[in-house]
Structure 1
């Protein structure tokens, strides 16, 4: 069988192990080449591959992996590092490297071939990953920086600190075979070699609690280094290291010191000799450069008259620069950054420019976005252009900035004069749609500006389109909001003086996000941040990394650790997500039990159902939503839910003792909960929507009470709320699935498509292009009123994919798929796709009164149960191939159920 093979690397770094993914084709196809992972610090990385085939029922039966220390050896099919031999296994993800020990800086070339039910593949193309610096001694001896402020800085009140510039020249006397740069620049850095920026990343590295761990990045810089003299330069920004507002509330805000850097450039010459360019006392530095201040909240000030042309090139006169100083290293452990850095991921053009009083102009980007503005401007030397940013406008056309609190969100650019100048910031981003321009002596044009959208360099893996325009717009708003708030950590909002990784926000929505973005590495890194923030007694904060010292002790915010672990495990199949986090989760649950459990009721809560909608839009006008209504019902129900998750985790790890323990504990909590909160009229506590949904969805309601509790839920929505939701952050993450799973997808659809208050559609109807923090975001007190928050998405996106599109994982990582789209009156088509770790799953249906057409794709090495809406089996036909590929299972609730192997299928149901 003649089989051609194509391969790409997408490097999924999950927890303490590395997963490197390749793609194998059993028929001729093309695919995108993606980056090979550099500088990993895992000694036994995991490998994975995807099988691509147009044949049906393709299942892997065996594989063979070769790993070599050179591409030449691998091309000769010599695996000097590892030859797995033929392994009889269907496993194609999380396959652990089991070859020779891997050393620092080693580049590993690897390839794979597979045996399947459709035949044997050829060897894939050669691909590689490289090892980073595995030991502390591999790094240079010295961190460099300036541990002090300069006369033009102001660190006592506004945290105004200028960027630090460093440079060094070195000789490269031989032909370079390869060169690798390993760099830690805290808080943020930009690296140059011979005047060229290294890589495409921005705002690097990802933030951490630097007292616990610091991340380094690795770059292949072979092409940057020239024969003879070379120059390396770096700019250091403040980021989260030199903390914003650190003097405002020192008891609350962590700070870590002044910016500093550690770097090694390892050069391998063609003759086999090596050289290292390190941070040492041969570097020169200055803080008197053009970036006069940079602050994530306030913005960046850039004075182009201070530019030193050629500072990062050979021959620059640095006689007036100071000798770089050795400084204390941060306390945190040095680790390779396994998650993606941020990049400029999209560029958008403004839609209008309006002139307002005082010679000012307002630029409208047409979309609430996160990033920065690139500006082209011409003027006299010393002329200043001020840019102020906001999410919306007041009625008089002025910027609405009250919701920014004391974040200035302002850039200031001082022109050097002469020809047209192009500028964008380096170390400051913001959330904005509108930009106010001050200082222009002429009318700027739309072509003078570009909005640079910035988020972590992760791929969009989900598409979603329906016949309902509002459903589609909500999906678009969700995408922009989720992407924009990926900043190496999952921040709550990108505009005001907060931008913090609140656990409650992402515990609510991380699962839904995973259908849109390849975020496994991102959330694996965040789980490590949460672990690192745990106190010795077991307490977990509400914000992690704990840049703010908030340890309020509640179930719903710290419990995000369990919810996100469940998401990573379920969506990617990575059991190490469970293994690495299990001790911390267990310790936290014990802490909460010992401290706050009384008669199996958890008495401590902080937030209640955070940000519930006011009864009417007017009832919440000008009122702050920053009010807490603690609920022992919520905290107890969540503790019960977490015992059930711990049972699942214990089973995954083979810990039967814990499985039994949490089963018994959960049963006692459930009994106590029902005795305390259940009302004989069929509802819990005060009959609030969230108070009923949580115990029902968590499986706490006695079987003979389920129907009545659900009846009260639907009555509240349909009658009391007139078809609207009334949930805050806690309840909204279970609402849509609860309605759907208990037989009312039509009511879920009604809630999702309401254009009146409160609801997601109301936000869209009021002009929102992202998701608001508050249901009444157009009337609430602006002190807590972000227009780009993701927490209120709840489980909407999960419902989109699992129920509207019918793409749901029956077993971890979509090895077995359940495809069952809900048939809802008024929704005539859904076209969705999701790229799982095994490949792309597609569900595309249209329906009329007389016919249902459904095209689906099941990726190789997986299978699916499909539920086709039909009154009887003979109504179903399949257009593409013989029905022999279909295994009929049963008729169930007006569905014909089939089991399918991989492949493309096209079903038609002719209704009688």
Structure 2
């Protein structure tokens, strides 16, 4: 008899979220069982406003005959704002075995209407800049008195700028960079803080540091702020007393403001902190604020406010220096051993007025000196002026840096050890999977991909985290999103970003190059704007999140219609500006654009996106649109062949990228695909098994080769250590993914100061192939979210073993393989309960495979075994399996 356990309850992809404004939140759970082949046959959900689930319940589904366990929408009584709801789940297997109730989880609602902000108004506190143009950060406070025993307390807060909330001298929580970066004119997030434990009976105080953040800092290449010139705060505290009464403290003219020690904070440039100007205890109730001035009212709408959607930014790790050394120039430099994003926390004990300066850099030059040329205009400098009052500790508040190396001035090198730590900052996404194999360099590559994602997923998916850019480039995001889903749960991260994409989309359907929009960056490039279509589909495919498709479908459709309206031929896209195969190695001298014709790439992505829109329409039950866009996709593919493919089936532009996109997107006639794949492989072999692709072609190289039986050639590309290759930067000491294949050349010189990031995840898209082909874990779009898993591991190259795990919406998936000394192979696979897997073992035959020592045909949980051209195919139910494949007879 199968015994099942319900675990890992989530709401909207999050564990116990506080402060949601969703009226129909979606609940998920996982099943755990030691038995094989376990599927859910029914479930029951209860939700209540009390943890004991006393009547009346907000929702009781009763027993629902269904296998659904992911993103089940709430359908109970209307949810009330500012209320915590507890929920629990029990399930039955397909055989009728019943679980116990799960451990309860909860979600807490925030505001459901603009009217609920009544009692709080926008306030500002302007401060003059100093002689150097530095603007001090505003310190705001409000003292108040509570009137009884407190049952609960919440603060709802946001800002035009960035803010940090304090209650009675303590930080309200461990999040940073609130309210995050959105399309502020249309969408501004607010956060919810549970401050019950921070309030006292009697005298209390709220304090807020109000800085520039993304709202008022320089963004991109324009020197002025992008959104507005005035920082402002909106906050509202609700105190509920044990007697049932409630009190509100909101931002208004009674709040007071002042300047303080933080004299300047800019995203790109860093911070200036003068500890001699500290107002100690400024956010505590006892502080004397008689010399502070009143805050000013500020006129701004509340209609754009939305509750926090993405996981917040947090410090997730702390690094200690691996060395402190002196460069040939005599610079004192700390090496943290890892290119990271965040800030340095340090402790100093120096006399008053001592200036401590930290400058941040990614690499040292070929002589070993500190190098900041690739930062362009970004200063990435933290300056701290000591108060002289014993040991002083500081870390930035409203800026973050991208760095491995830190040049320290103002402190003797001998007083650095043990006083400096690297604080890693990122959107705190739930861990996803892991990849390991027998090659240490490939393991390092996989690790570098993860570090690149951590550093560039700070509230939005950025291209780089260090220079004067740090923008949400759409092309990078769509190229990398599949790999990203293996490393972290990115569903809420991209759901939030995609809403900003839709908000910034132009009336004609055009899509900015960067999201949130920075107008100087431009609009409407193929493979960049296609993020509007590709990213929602990947989130649906990997997480089973149909709502993302529904929310984004007008945006997806709008982008395809924009393309359709370009030029004279509605089935070709051969007009307008395109980045093309950006940074392709087959580019002409002094060009960033690869040799593949831009109109070929544009039309290929036109077809690809149109096909995705057709599939999305079908998922959403929009049969008319599904038919229309399916037919449009076929017409575009036909036009692609007429324009870019010869009658004999050759792609007219013989580049790696041209063949990669034509084959990946199924744009060639079926009869021509095999010979085209052969030509594609020959192109690579003739180049000495080296790639020549850029941002567009690279994500598809290994996938196409694997699909058409050239897996060993894909492994050659992966294992290549010389430039150009994925492992060349690893050999050169990279700890993240580089923007250029030769960001550091073999002679130690640099590619260029103009555009040379050493933390740029686009080429990390190969992580999708490591997980999806080497280890063989992939999703099936027909049963998305890994309800039906594809397990097709591909032993190859010089690897002796490989293994990947993935925490899917149904539980952990594992796929591992190992070559045996006798020439056989062992495969180990784990399928979570309530899911199944379609397996392909390459080269295997019926009768040559044992499962845990038993013939495959008699193994529990294995069904539908059959030989195919790809190898041995069969279906697995849930459970852990071990397959041993005997060596092939010679």
Give TM-score, length-normalised by structure 2. 0.95
Most deviating of 902-911 and 780-789: 902-911
Report what 2:112 is aligned to: 134
C-alpha displacement at 1:537, in angstroms?
2.4
Report what 1:850 is aligned to: 823
- Does the 8 Å CA contact 1:210/1:330 hold for their aligned counterparts? no
Report what 1:809 is aligned to: 779
Report what 1:25 is aligned to: none
C-alpha displacement at 1:442, in angstroms?
5.6
The 5-angstrom pairing of residues 598-747 of structure 1 reads 598=569, 600-604=571-575, 605-613=577-585, 625=592, 631-680=598-647, 682-719=649-686, 721-747=687-713
Report what 1:201 is aligned to: 175
C-alpha displacement at 1:247, in angstroms?
9.8
Q: Deviations over 1:355-385 (max 9, x none)?
A: 2478641111111111111112111101101
C-alpha displacement at 1:306, in angstroms?
0.8
Report what 1:281 is aligned to: 253
Report what 1:507 is aligned to: 478
Q: Deviations over 1:15-43 (max 9, x none)?
A: xxxxx6xxxxxxxxxxxxxx511111011
C-alpha displacement at 1:540, in angstroms?
1.3
Counterparts of 2:559 and 2:870, CA distance in 1: 46
Counterparts of 1:134 and 1:479, CA distance in 2: 37
Distance 1:195-1:459 versus aligned 2 partners, 3 A rule: same
**2:748 maps to 1:782:** no
The 5-angstrom pairing of residues 27-38 of structure 1 reads 35-38=15-18
Distance 1:165-1:758 versus aligned 2 partners, 3 A rule: same
- Does the 8 Å CA contact 1:507/1:557 hold for their aligned counterparts? yes
C-alpha displacement at 1:775, in angstroms?
1.4
Report what 1:406 is aligned to: 377
- Does the 8 Å CA contact 1:213/1:331 hold for their aligned counterparts? no
Report what 2:737 is aligned to: 771
Report what 2:103 is aligned to: 125
- Does the 8 Å CA contact 2:435/2:443 hold for their aligned counterparts? yes
- Does the 8 Å CA contact 1:607/1:630 hold for their aligned counterparts? no
The 5-angstrom pairing of residues 413-452 of structure 1 reads 413-441=384-412, 443-452=414-423
Distance 1:461-1:336 versus aligned 2 partners, 3 A rule: same
Q: Deviations over 1:43-77 (max 9, x none)?
A: 111111101111111111111111112123x1x5x
Counterparts of 1:40 and 1:597, CA distance in 2: 47
Counterparts of 1:640 and 1:627, CA distance in 2: 21
**2:845 maps to 1:879:** no
C-alpha displacement at 1:140, in angstroms?
3.6
Counterparts of 1:144 and 1:674, CA distance in 2: 58
The 5-angstrom pairing of residues 202-221 of structure 1 reads 202-221=176-195
- Does the 8 Å CA contact 1:610/1:628 hold for their aligned counterparts? no
Q: Deviations over 1:563-610 (max 9, x none)?
A: 101110000111111111111221222122113352621112411111
Report what 1:381 is aligned to: 352
Counterparts of 1:587 and 1:888, CA distance in 2: 43
Counterparts of 1:806 and 1:537, CA distance in 2: 40
Q: Deviations over 1:448-482 (max 9, x none)?
A: 11100110011221011001122111101101001
Counterparts of 2:597 and 2:845, CA distance in 1: 51
- Does the 8 Å CA contact 1:485/1:492 hold for their aligned counterparts? yes
C-alpha displacement at 1:676, in angstroms?
1.6
Give TM-score, length-normalised by structure 1. 0.93
C-alpha displacement at 1:547, in angstroms?
3.0
C-alpha displacement at 1:172, in angstroms?
1.2
Q: Deviations over 1:752-809 (max 9, x none)?
A: 1111111111111121111111112124221111111011223x11111111111111
Match among 766, 769, 773 for residue 799 of structure 1: 769
Report what 1:225 is aligned to: 199
- Does the 8 Å CA contact 2:813/2:829 hold for their aligned counterparts? yes
Match among 48, 57, 66 for residue 68 of structure 1: 48
Distance 1:838-1:490 versus aligned 2 partners, 3 A rule: same
C-alpha displacement at 1:551, in angstroms?
3.6
Counterparts of 1:548 and 1:258, CA distance in 2: 20
- Does the 8 Å CA contact 1:754/1:760 hold for their aligned counterparts? yes
Report what 1:12 is aligned to: 12
C-alpha displacement at 1:867, in angstroms?
2.2
Counterparts of 1:247 and 1:806, CA distance in 2: 42
Counterparts of 1:172 and 1:763, CA distance in 2: 59
Report SS of the residue matched to 1:759: coil
Report what 1:91 is aligned to: 68
Most deviating of 548-557 and 263-272: 548-557
Most deviating of 649-658 and 834-843: 649-658
Match among 546, 549, 557 for residue 528 of structure 2: 557
Most deviating of 86-95 and 392-401: 392-401
Counterparts of 1:246 and 1:513, CA distance in 2: 24
- Does the 8 Å CA contact 1:214/1:332 hold for their aligned counterparts? no
Q: Deviations over 1:600-649 (max 9, x none)?
A: 2111241111111268xxx97xx674899861111111111111111101
Unaligned runs of 5+ in 2: 745-749
Match among 106, 121, 138 for residue 83 of structure 2: 106
Counterparts of 1:828 and 1:296, CA distance in 2: 45
Report what 1:31 is aligned to: none
The 5-angstrom pairing of residues 255-334 of structure 1 reads 255-286=227-258, 288-329=259-300, 333-334=304-305
Counterparts of 1:530 and 1:879, CA distance in 2: 50
Most deviating of 883-892 and 451-460: 883-892
Counterparts of 1:803 and 1:511, CA distance in 2: 13
Report what 1:16 is aligned to: none
- Does the 8 Å CA contact 1:568/1:574 hold for their aligned counterparts? yes
- Does the 8 Å CA contact 1:231/1:314 hold for their aligned counterparts? yes
Report SS of the residue matched to 1:189: strand
- Does the 8 Å CA contact 2:123/2:252 hold for their aligned counterparts? no
Unaligned runs of 5+ in 1: 14-19, 21-34
- Does the 8 Å CA contact 1:539/1:551 hold for their aligned counterparts? no
Q: Deviations over 1:222-281 (max 9, x none)?
A: 11111111111111111111131699456xx62223221111111111111111111112
Q: Deviations over 1:297-328 (max 9, x none)?
A: 00011111111111111111111111011112
- Does the 8 Å CA contact 2:800/2:818 hold for their aligned counterparts? yes
Distance 1:626-1:393 versus aligned 2 partners, 3 A rule: farther
Q: Deviations over 1:814-855 (max 9, x none)?
A: 111121111214221111100110111011221124322122
